[in-house]
Structure formats: C-alpha cells, structure tokens
Amino acid sequence: MEIKKQTNLRGTLTVPGDKSISHRAVMFGSLAKGTTCISHFLEGADCLSTISCFRKMGISIERRKSEILVHGKGLHGLSAPEALLDVGNSGTTTRLISGILAGQKFISELDGDDSIRTRPMKRIVTPLASMGADITSKRGNGCVPLLIHGKELHAVHYDSPVASAQVKSCVLLAGMYADGVTSVTEPFLSRNHTEIMLNYFGANVTSEGTTASILPEPVLEGRAVKVPGDISSAAYFIAAGLLTPGSEILLKNVGINPTRAGMLKVCMDMGADITLLNQSTEGEPTADLLIRTSNLKGTTVEGAVIPTLIDEIPMIAVMAAFADGTTVIRDAQELKVKESDRITVMVENLKRMGADIEGTDDGMIIHGGKPLHGATIDSHLDHRVAMSFAVAGTICDGSMEILHGDCVKISYPNFYQDLYSLGDK
Ligand SMILES: O=C(O)C1=C[C@@H](OP(=O)(O)O)[C@@H](O)[C@H](O)C1
Ligand SMILES: C=C(OP(=O)(O)O)C(=O)O
C-alpha cells in the first residue's frame, strides 16, 4: 500500500462503530431472550469472527444494511457447535467467548490465525480453572487451539495480575453460570463496556474502584444497542488532524468513555487543540471531536492511563516522533502480546523513518522533532501498526509503503478511503 502526502484536512467524518462494544452486543444479544438490534455495528473482520462463532452455536444473526439483528435464545440457549469455532485474529472474541463456553453443557474448540496462536491464554485459563472449568491448550503452549469442556462453575474472587478488560470480562461472563457472586479486581481500571452493557441487558454487575462483581443466572433481555464511533479508530484522524498543516476536522459521535479516552488526555498534555462538542452521557458517553492543527510537545504516558489508551499507543508513538521534545511511555508491557509485539515493531519501523527512538521493557523513549522521511514499513499484519504508519506517510516527505496494508480490515475496512476523504483534492 503506497501512501500519499496530504495537506489541509477539512470536513466531517463518522468513524466506524466501536470494536469492543460491537463484539459485546453480539455476544450478550445471543445470550439474551428476544431480539437485539445493533446499529452502527463494526463490520470489521474481528467482529465478523464473533458473529460466525455464535451462528455456529445456533444463534440466528441477520446482517442488514444499517443494522444487525441477533435473535437470542437466553443464557442457556446455545447449542453444541458442529465445527470448531474460528476466532480469526481476535483476542476479544477468544477471551470473552471462553468465559461463556466454560459454563456450557457441551464441548467446544477454539482456533484462529497465526497471530492469535501466539497470544497468551493462560491469563484466562487460570481464573476459569479456579472456577472449575476444564480448558486445555491443545499444543500445551498456553495458546489456542483451546478445547473447552463445559462444567458447573463455582463463584470466585479473582485478583488479576493484569489490567485487561478481556480477562475481567471473561471471568464476569463465566460468573453468570456460577453458583454465587463472582468478582474480579485488576491493578488499574480497564475498559468497562462489559459492565455497562450487561447491566443494560438486565444483569446485576456492580463496580467499586477496580473491582467488578456479578450475580449469577441473570435474565438478559434483547435490547437496541447504538454503537458509538470507535475512539481507537478516531485516534488516526485525531493524529492526522493535529499533525497535518492547515487542518480542521470534525469527528462525529465518538465514544469517550473515561476508561477508553486516555488518548484525548495525552493529546491535551501534548498541547493539542481538541474541542468536545455535543456531549451525551446516556449509556456510553459520546461527543463530536473538533480537531485543529497544533504544535505538539513531548509528554510522559504511564500508570493508570495506560489501559485507557492501550490500542492507541502505536499512534501516540508516531505523534511523539513528530512532536518537539521527549516522550516516555512506561508500564505498557501489554503491547508485547497484541497482534504483534508493538514495542519492537513500532521502534523498528519508526527508526526506518529516521526517528530517534529506543524500546524499553515496558514502553519506548522517543526524542521527537527529528526530520522524518517515508520508508517501507512492515505492518507485521497488525492493523494498528499499518494505520499508524499510513497516517505518518500522509505527513512526512518521501514515499511511504506499508507492507500487508490490507490488514486494516480487522478493525477499519474503509480506512484508506476515509484517510483520503479529507485532504486537498
Ligand atoms: O475488551 C476489549 O474489547 C479489548 C481489550 C483490550 O485488550 P486487553 O484486555 O488484552 O488489554 C484491547 O487491547 C482490545 O483491543 C479490546
Ligand atoms: C489488541 C487488539 O484487539 P484484540 O485483542 O481483540 O485482538 C486491537 O484491536 O488492537
């Protein structure tokens, strides 16, 4: 994929629906009684993997032009899948569905692509096993393929060593099938979409600090879910708008849940001109984001903010390379176990562009403001890496090529069309 330089980004953009919320709407809709109607659903490959898994367990899911209809069968309505469940590239599908499958009365098997086959699943197998689940990593390496024999589950309190919404959600979902109150404490608060949406569907989830608890056997009712724009997708246009000279763009209806919106805080710390308009606090909070070209300066990104912007760090690293001064990113060791090792891959590719960057065990140190030029970038089939460098390519001089650039289909199928929709024609 060849990337062209752009100037004067102007206009309005609606980014695709939130990936995390789209996955959950399909899953919880499948376990609810009645029909769940999902609007602005993300038609990315990851969310389509979730649809395919639930269809294989007997759930009828209709894909209409502007909405998805999930005809749920209740908490105990899934049927044994005839074939293995293909989770594709999606960590969210794998970890959340495992919590559900652990409590079923049937056996199931999960497998996916080469990337998901390297991602750690012990982090969910350990708490699920403590609840009485029977899960085996078929290759004995703690990764998929996973074989799950559904069992009667016991309620536990789980102290998670990682701030991960996928681990938290997995345990809470298993807790729906347990014999008492199940709770999870995490070191920092991760995204709380599961807690919000399960309650909306009729479950009883309470949150106190970094602990979330769920009562068993909820009666979930089908609902209308309006998926907000994905702030992780908006991140590319926030960065492009801030860094491209002569820009003023409006990103409509973006989710700004505080457990997800750390990118906005970091941008403000870097000196960004961002205005929040039309804020709504009904359900998941949303706003329109007005982005204007800004002179950015370096900052420090660490601690509790990390889980609230974990997927945006590749884009933040690129912004930091264009900003003046030094940016330090710490406490982000989770980046090593995403679709690629995002510390190594960002450092390797930013160096190719001429950046002064160094990887650390848990992040990066970027001395910004060096002249950057186009390069051949290896996305390592990681959608966030491809999109971050595509944005970089619209700003820097010289030709930029992204290898395996089509991996953007995982979370943003129309990314390149949208990227070129705002610049001078
Ligand atoms: O729960 C979710 O929807 C997600 C949680 C995060 O993963 P972790 O839970 O592994 O941090 C994030 O990186 C992923 O893109 C989506
Ligand atoms: C890490 C990501 O997703 P997942 O864990 O669902 O594969 C991501 O989208 O950046």
Tens digit of each residue's pLDDT (9 = 90 or more) over 241-284: 999 999 999 999 999 999 999 999 999 999 999 999 999 998 89
Question: Binding site residues, as ranges?
Answer: 19-20, 24, 91, 119, 164, 166, 311, 338, 342, 384
Decide: helix, strand or coil at residue 35.
strand
Task: Give the CB-side neighbour count of residue 76, counting CA atoms within 13 A.
Answer: 9
Task: Identify the CATH number of the domain in which residue 209 sits.
Answer: 3.65.10.10
Q: From the alpha carbon of 311, which atom of ligand 1 is closest?
A: 13
> Whole-angstrom Cα distance, residue 312 to residue 382?
13
- Is 311 a catalytic site residue? yes
How many CB atoms within 10 Å of residue 332? 23
User: Do 201 and 269 belong to one domain?
Assistant: no
Asked whether 50 lines ligand 2 (CB < 6 A), one says no
Q: Give the per-residue pLDDT at 282.
A: 86
pTM, two decimals, is 0.98
Q: Which of 191, 192, 337 to mutate to test the pocket of ligand 1 (most atoms within 8 A of CB)?
A: 191
Query: Does the residue 425 lie in any domain?
Result: no
**Domain termination site, one of 205, 226, 247:** 226
For residues 225 and 275, the answer to whether their CB atoms sit within 8 Å is: no
- The answer to whether residues 309 and 367 belong to one domain is yes
Q: Are residues 242 and 214 in the same domain?
A: no
44 pocket-lining for ligand 2 (C-beta < 6 Å): no
Interface predicted TM-score of the whole assembly (ipTM), two decimals: 0.99
Residues 228, 233, 238, 240, CA torsion sign: negative
Based on the domain organization, do 218 and 246 belong to the same domain?
A: no
Nearest CA to ligand 1 atom 8: 164
Helix (H) or strand (E) holding 389: helix 383-395
Mutate to test the pocket of ligand 2, among 50, 92, 168, 337 (most ligand atoms within 8 A of CB): 92
Same domain, 144 and 235: no
Whether the CB of 92 sits within 6 Å of ligand 2: yes
Residue 327's CB: how many other CB atoms inside 10 A?
26
Please report the pLDDT score of residue 424 as a whole number.
Answer: 84
| Any domain includes 424 | no
Q: Are 157 and 28 part of one and the same domain?
A: yes
Mean pLDDT of 387-406: 97
Burial 7-20 (b: 16+ CB within 10 A, else e): eebeeebebbbbbb
34 and 67 share a domain? yes
Q: What's the chain's average pLDDT?
A: 98
Domain limits for position 332: 2-16+228-419
Ligand 1 atom showing the smallest separation from residue 194 Cα: 1
Rounded (to 5) percent helix, strand, coil in the chain: 35, 25, 40
pLDDT tens-place string over residues 137-169: 999 999 999 999 999 999 999 999 999 999 999
* Position 393 pLDDT exceeds 80: yes
Instruction: Round to whole Å and give the CA distance between 157 and 415.
Output: 41
Evaluate: CB of 338 within 6 angstroms of ligand 2. yes
pLDDT digits (tens, 9 = 90+) for 34-61: 999 999 999 999 999 999 999 999 999 9
DSSP string, 268-326: HHTT-EEEEEEEE-SSS-EEEEEEE----B--EE-GGGGGGSGGGHHHHHHHHHHSBEE
Res. 425: pLDDT tops 80: no
The Å distance, Cα 247 to ligand 2 centre, comes to 29
pLDDT digits (tens, 9 = 90+) for 58-91: 999 999 989 999 999 999 999 999 899 999 999 9
* Ligand 2 atom at minimal distance to the Cα of residue 338: 1
